Amino acid sequence: MAADSENTWGPKHFIQNTPCARNSFLYGMGGGAVGGFAYFLWTSNPRRSYHALMASFTATVLLYWVPCRYQYAQKRMKQRMINQGLKTHIVMQGTPEAELLASAQEAGDKS
């Protein structure tokens, strides 16, 4: 009996296999380092600079993750619609309903 999936779980698996995760953490680490260093240059306060580093890291991760996942969800929906449209086209090819659909689509495109 073949298993459905490999027995992998953990941070490495999450970052490697989850869409947008790797880039989110990379940008987060970079943004955190930049934010923390900039704050240190501005205030020369190491303690608060670490706070700024953490805040920048969190904000950068979220600011990349949310739009990336939203765009990924939109692409997923479009892909499903395309797949469904192709299946419907294949099933109805050669039938009177297909001609009706094609003429309705042409009328829609013209308007």
Partner 1 sequence: MATPAQLGLMDAASPVMEEMIYFHDHVMLVLILITCLIFYSMLVLISSKYIYRFLTDGHVIETVWTVIPAIILVVVALPSLKLLYLTDELDNPQLTIKSVGHQWYWSYEYTDYYDIEFDSYMLPLGDLSKGDARLLEVDNRVVLPVDTSVRVLVTAADVIHSWTVPSLGLKMDAVPGRLNQLALQCSRVGTFYGQCSEICGANHSFMPIVIEAVPVEVFEGWCDMMLDEE
- The footprint of partner 1 (CB under 8 A) covers 1, 3-9, 11, 13-14, 18-19, 21, 24, 50-51, 54, 57-58, 61-62, 65-66, 69, 72-73, 76, 80, 87
Of residues 20 and 38, the one with the C-beta less far from partner 1: 20
- Cα distances (angstroms) measured from residue 94 to each of 12, 31, 41: 50, 57, 71
**Ramachandran region, residue 20 (left: φ > 0; alpha: ψ -120 to 50; beta: rest):** left
Distance of CA 32 to the CA centre of its chain: 21
CB of 101 to partner 1, least distance (A): 17
Cα-only R_g, the chain: 24
Comparison of 3 and 106: residue with beta carbon closer to partner 1: 3
Q: How far is the CB of 14 from partner 1 (least distance, A)?
A: 6
